[in-house]
Amino acid sequence: MIERYTRPQMGALWTDEHKFATWLKVELAVCEAMAKAGHIPRQDWTAIRRKAAFTVDRIHQIEADVRHDVIAFLTAVAENVGPAARHIHKGLTSSDVVDTALALNLVAAADLLLEGVTQVRAAAAYQASQHAFTPMIGRSHGIHAEPTTFGLKMALMYDEFGRVENRLKAARKVVGVGKLSGAVGTHAHLDPRIERVVCRQLGLQPAAISTQILQRDRHAEFVTAIALAGASVERWAQEFRHLQRTEVREVQEFFGSAQKGSSAMPHKQNPIIGEQLCGLARVLRGYALTAMENVPLWHERDISHSSTERIILPDATILLDTMLAKLAALVKNLKVDVAQMRANLDLTHGLIHSQQVLLLLVEKGAERDEAYRWVQRNALKSWKSGSPLLDLVAADPDIARIATRRELTACFNLKRHFRFVKRTFRSLGLPIQD
């Protein structure tokens, strides 16, 4: 992943230095378990533990000749350990080390992503608390529908990212699995008890069964959870982009005093973070497809998945890590224009209360279809003339026979849309700012 979208802590997980260090961690855990089981002499284990080391440059130098990264790694370590190195990698195949180490990396990456989700939820909870009763227009098909509150909108975001959190936790568990079962998964050269001991020491679950590799449906589930998280990021980034449009102007991304929005137009303040997040989400969806393509491998394994995973696993985790951080900052610093929200509520002269008028007429005894036509014809007049809907329905002879102006006026009260805000917030565990 390019440096522009890489944050240091997540990026460090995918360096060659960290990869080889994790491989060594697995190899040493195996040697220790074998030494305790009496399969490696104590003095040799002591030498391995003390001397096992590598340099990335040396591994790359060896790999240029042998064209096999695990062999190059083992050779570099053996140069430092000496004769006792004959016990390193005993009974293992390359994928035992690579896949188990990859599981450790994916678990660590998942933990960082979960921290990012926590920050997004905290930002959404803050805005929800601040604006629980801030009225705004709700929209369907991009058209004014009925009133809602900005706090409810942000509570919805908080709830959605709770599901993002749950999916990432589930995916973390699915990939948190190691295997040390050999070339075709039969444990022909290493006792399964060693696998159990090593996985327990590393904080992983041993695979119930494997081939030469861990099955790639696990990794596909992990990347799919990341792509779904990216889709939720995009869903809210797009929401804020729409609310920032000149015709709406209800919210705005933070815009610094020295920031510039356009090289040509000095007035521009563009939703650049939201647009960036929407674009990056597309990349994550592509990685999910690639991860699914990696599931059907030949027999006990081929390496068609290996090359793609060197790209998609680092990139997907790095991208989502950055996206979550950017979204959390966007939401936390969001400028909310309460006055503009109120102005937009009044934009359609009361048309947004048409359903309540309809319901009142039905409750008063009118047939629903007939009442619908009465309200609709006045709504259309209001659209064309700009006259308040209340005045039109109160003057309509069919409606006036059934409902008084006082009853109709009550239909235009915003308070009915706030009745269950507190209950919703309580159910989500969200506070409401006094």
Catalytic residue among 141, 257, 263, 267: 141
What distance in Å separates the CA atoms of residue 170 and residue 113, rounded to the nearest whole number? Answer: 13
First to last CA, the chain: 44
Specify the residue for token string 């081929």. 302
Specify the residue for token string 């070339």. 183
Query: Which of 23, 22, 88, 26 lies closest to 51 in space, CA to CA?
Result: 88
- Report strand pairing: 205-206 vs 251-252: unpaired
Told to judge if 187 belongs to the known catalytic residues of this protein, a careful annotator would answer no
What distance in Å separates the CA atoms of residue 197 and residue 376, rounded to the nearest whole number? Answer: 72
Taking the mean position of all CA atoms in its chain, how far away is CA 261?
28
Specify the residue for token string 């188990």. 100
Catalytic residue among 68, 189, 262, 304: 262
Told to judge if 427 belongs to the known catalytic residues of this protein, a careful annotator would answer no
What distance in Å separates the CA atoms of residue 338 and residue 335, rounded to the nearest whole number? Answer: 9
DSSP secondary structure of 45-93: HHHHHHH----HHHHHHHHHHH--HHHHHHHHHHHHH-GGGGGTTTT--
Identify whether the C-beta of residue 332 lies closer than 8 Å to the C-beta of residue 126.
Answer: yes
Identify whether the C-beta of residue 61 lies closer than 8 Å to the C-beta of residue 179.
Answer: no
Residue 138: strand, helix, or coil: strand
Query: Which of 33, 42, 31 lies closest to 78 in space, CA to CA?
Result: 31
What distance in Å separates the CA atoms of residue 144 and residue 302, rounded to the nearest whole number? Answer: 55
**Residues that are catalytic:** 141, 262
